[in-house]
Chain A
Amino acid sequence: MTSAVTTAPATTTSGAGTTSRRRSVVWLGLVPFAIYVLLFLAVPAALAVGSGFFTSSGAFTLANLSAFANPQILAGFWSSLWLSALTAVIGAILGAIVCFALMGARRDGPLRSLVDSASSVLAQFGGVMLAFAFIATFGTQGLITQWLVSLGLSSNVFNDFENGGVLLYQIPGLVLPYLYFQVPLMVLTFLPAMEGLKPTWGEANATLGGTRFTYWTRIGMPILAPAFFGSLILLFANAFSSYATAAALISQGGIVPLAIKQQLTSETVVGVSNVAGVLALGMVIVMIVLMTAYSALQRRASRWQK
C-alpha cells in the first residue's frame, strides 16, 4: 500500500524531469498539425483578408476599401444584416420555445435522440438539399404553391411576391429556408443552458410563494438571458456566413456571400481590384465583433451551468 503511494509521485517526477533532448523530440509531434493549420487555415485566412489591400499588380493600397462606398455592395451588406437579424431573432424565439418543450424529457430517451439528430441534420448538413426542399414546397411547382393555386389563388405570395416573380428566388424568400436551419441550431445551442436550470430553484420559488409566472420572470429568464443572447448572436453569425442555400436558390447577388461569388467568378461590379478580398475583410470584421460579444456572453452564461 505504502509502496504504491510512493511510486506514483516518483513516476511523475521522472516524467517531468525528462532531458531537454527528449522534450524537443516530443515537440516534434506537434509539427504535422502546426504545418497543416498554417498552410490550410492561417495562409488562406490571411490571403483572403489581406488581398483586399493590394492592387491587381501587387502593390499595397487602401483604395480598394472604396468598394464599401459602392451602393450595390452596401445594399448587399444591408440585406445580409437584416436577413441575419430577422432569422436570428425569430429562430431564437421559436428555438427557445422548442427547448422549453423539451425540458424534462429524458436525456437518453428516444425523443431527445430524434430531436438532436434532426436538428443536427438541418442545422449543419442541409445547404443545397434544404434549398431543394423549399423549391419543392414554395417554388412555382411547389406543393404549397400548387395547393394555393388549386384553391383558386392562381397568383399568390409564393409565385408572385410583390409582382417580382417567385418569392423563393428573391432575398426575402430566403427567410423561410434560413429559419429552417436557424431554429434547429437554436435548439442545439440553447438546450444545454435550459437544462442548467435547477429544479431546486423552482422549489425555492414555490416555498417563497412564487407562481410559475414569477418563476420565469424573476428566476428563469434572468438566468437564461446571457445564454439566450449568446445563442442569438451565434444564429446571426450562422445566417451571415451561410452560402450554399442562397447560392442554390439565387443566381445573382444580393447578399454578401453571393456578392463574393460574383466577384470571384467575374470581375465586374465595382471599379477596383480584389473586391472579393475587401468583402471577405468586411465579413471577418462583422464576425469578429459577433464572436467577441458571444464569448463575453458565454462567460456570463457558464456561471449557472454545471
Chain B
Amino acid sequence: MSKARYGAEPSPVTRWIILGFVGAVFIVPILALVEFSLRLGQTGQHGLVHYAAIFDPANASTYSVLFQGIGNSLVICAITVLIVLLVLLPTMILVELKFPKYRRVLEFICIIPITIPSIVLVVGFVPVYSVVASIFGSNPWTLAFAVGVIVLPYAYRPIAANLAALDVVILSEASRSLGAGWFSLIVRVLLPNLRRGIFASCFITIAVVLGEYTIASFLSQNTFQTALLLLQHTDPYVAVIFALFALVFVFVLLILIGRLGTSRRNRRSA
C-alpha cells in the first residue's frame, strides 16, 4: 500500500469513498424503477400485482403489442447477427489474410456509423426503405439491414482486437505448410482462435439491437423499444417491468463478455 503514496493509485479509502458515492447516486434511478414497478396505483402501497398481471390472459390484448415487438426484435437480432457473421466477419478475415493494406480502410468504414448520428441516417433510410419495402414488403425483419450498419462499430472492435492478438499470417502459413486448404485453414484454425472475439461481437450486437429505438420508430416498425414507449401510455407499470428486465438481461450479457475477455487475458499471461 505504501506504493500508492507516490504512484497514481488512490488509497483504498479514497477509492471506496468515490465509488461508493457515485454508485449510490447511480443506483437511485434503477431503484426508482423497481419501486415504481411495485406500486399499487396511487395508494402508496406496494405489491407484486403488476408482475402477476403480465401472465394474466385477460391482459393479453394489452400486451400483445409488446410481445410482438419483442418477437420482432429477436428476429432482427438473429438477422443482424447473421449479417455480422456472414458479411462482416468473412470480410475482416479476408482483408487480414489477403489485403492487409486495406485494414485501415475497413476500420474507417466500420467507425463511420459512430460519426453519423442515427437520427441523420434515418433521414436517408426513409427513401432507401421505400425501395426496400417494394422488394421485400414492409416487414419488421428488413430493419436488420439498417440496424446492421449501426452495429458495425461495436461488432468490428472485438473481432479486430482478437485478430490483432493472433498472428494470422504465421497461422495460415503453418496450416498451409501442413497441407491444409483455405477451407480448413478458416474453419479449423482461424474460427476456433477467433471464437471469443466472435462471441463478444455477437453479444454486443444483440444488446445494441434490443436497445435500438431511433430507426425503428422512424421506419414505423414495432420493435421492443417502440412497443415499450407505446405501452408506457396504457400500462406504465408493465413497461417499466420490461425495461428493468432488459437492463438486467443486457447487464448479465455484458458481464459474460467481460468474463470471456478475462479468460483470454489469463491464457495469454500464462
B213 within 8 A of A: yes
Partner of A132, one of B22, B120, B232: B232
Q: Is B133 an interface residue (CB 8 A)?
A: no
Residue in chain A with minimal CB distance to B35? A143
Min Cβ gap B119→A in Å is 4
Whether the Cβ atoms of A180 and B87 lie closer than 8 Å is no
User: Which residues of A have CB within 8 Å of B22?
Assistant: 94, 97-98, 101, 183
Decide: A11 near B177, CB < 8 A? Known: A132-B232, A243-B118, A280-B120: yes
Q: Does any Cβ of A come within 8 Å of B76's Cβ?
A: no
Judge whether B87 and A129 touch: CB under 8 Å: no
B60 at interface by CB-CB < 8 Å: no
Judge whether B91 and A128 touch: CB under 8 Å.
Answer: no
B257 to chain A minimum Cβ distance, whole angstroms, is 8
A-side binding surface: helix, strand, loop or mixed? helix
A220 within 8 A of B: yes
| A283 contacts partner chain B, Cβ-Cβ < 8 Å | yes
Which chain A residue lies CB-closest to B27?
A118
Q: B24: shortest Cβ distance to chain A, in Å? A: 13
Q: How far is the CA of A120 from the CA of B22 in the complex (A)?
A: 16
With known contacts A29-B91, A143-B32, A197-B8, A264–B123 Cβ distance under 8 A: yes
Name the distance in Å between B42's Cβ and chain A's nearest Cβ: 8
Chain B residues in 8 Å Cβ range of A127: 211, 213, 225
Residues from chain A with Cβ under 8 Å of B214 in the complex: 243-244, 247
A141, A243, A283 — most chain B CB neighbours (10 Å): A243
Which residues of chain A come closer than 8 Å to B31, judged between CB atoms?
A: 143
B115 x A117 contact (CB < 8 A): no
Which B residue's beta carbon lies closest to that of A207? B6
Interface size on A, residues (CB 8 A): 96
Which chain A residues numbered 26 to 64 have a C-beta less than 8 Å away from chain B? 26, 29-30, 32-33, 36-37, 39-41, 43-49, 51
Q: Would A287 and B116 be within 8 Å (CB), given that A8-B177, A244-B213 are in contact?
A: yes
Complex Cα spacing A112 to B91, Å? 33
Q: A142 near B: Cβ within 8 Å?
A: yes
> Which chain A residues lie closer than 8 Å to B6 at the CB level?
202-203, 205-206, 210, 212, 215
A94 to B15, CA, bound (A): 14
Please name all residues of chain B whose beta carbon is closer than 8 Å to the beta carbon of A242 when the two chains form the complex.
117
Report if B104 contacts A (CB, 8 A).
no
Give every chain B residue within 8 A of A2 (Cβ-Cβ): none
Q: Chain B at the A interface: mostly helix, strand, loop or mixed?
A: helix
A40 touches B145 (CB 8 A): yes
Residues from 183 to 201 in A contacting B, C-beta threshold 8 Å? 183, 194, 197, 199, 201
Q: Which residues of chain A are near B30, meaning CB under 8 Å?
A: 133
Q: Which of B215-235 contact A (CB under 8 A)?
A: 217-218, 225, 228-229, 232
Chain B interface residue count, Cβ-Cβ cutoff 8 angstroms: 86
Query: With the chains together, A114 CA to B258 CA distance in Å?
Result: 9
Q: Which of A119-145 contact B (CB under 8 A)?
A: 120-122, 124-130, 132-134, 136-137, 141-144
Q: Does A105 contact B (CB under 8 A)?
A: yes
Decide if B259 is an interface residue (CB 8 Å cutoff).
yes
Interface residue A241 (Cβ < 8 Å from any Cβ of B): yes
Query: Using an 8 Å CB-CB cutoff, how does the interface string of B19-43 with A read, 1 for contact, 0 for none?
Result: 1001000101111110110000010
Using CB atoms, name the residue of chain A closest to B116: A45
Residues on B lying within 8 angstroms of A by beta carbon are 3-10, 14-15, 18-19, 22, 26, 28-33, 35-36, 42, 83, 86-88, 90-91, 94-95, 98-99, 109, 112-113, 115-128, 145-146, 148-149, 152, 154, 173, 176-177, 207-208, 210-211, 213-214, 217-218, 225, 228-229, 232, 239-240, 243, 246-247, 250-251, 254-255, 257-259, 262, 265-266
Most chain A beta-carbon neighbours within 10 Å: one of B154, B258, B266:
B258
In the complex, whether A173 has a CB less than 8 A from a CB of chain B is no
User: Bound complex: CA of A80 vs CA of B80, how far in Å?
Assistant: 31
Given contacts A43-B124, A44-B123, A206-B6, 12 further A-B contacts (CB under 8 A): A36-B145, A44-B149, A97-B18, A100-B18, A104-B10, A117-B254, A241-B118, A241-B120, A243-B214, A257-B117, A276-B123, A277-B123
Determine the distance from Cα of A111 to Cα of B262 in the docked complex, in whole angstroms: 13
A-chain residues with CB within 8 Å of residue B4 when the two chains form the complex: 104
Instruction: Tell me which residues across on chain A come within 8 A of B120, comparing CB atoms.
Output: 45, 48-49, 241, 260, 280, 283-284
Whether the Cβ atoms of B119 and A287 lie closer than 8 Å is no
A98 to B24, CA, bound (A): 13
Contact B10 A101 (CB under 8 A): yes
Q: A104-B9, A136-B35 are in contact. Are A284 and B116 (CB under 8 A)?
A: yes
Whether the pair A41, B112 counts as a contact (CB closer than 8 A) is yes
Q: Are A280 and B123 in contact (CB under 8 A)?
A: yes
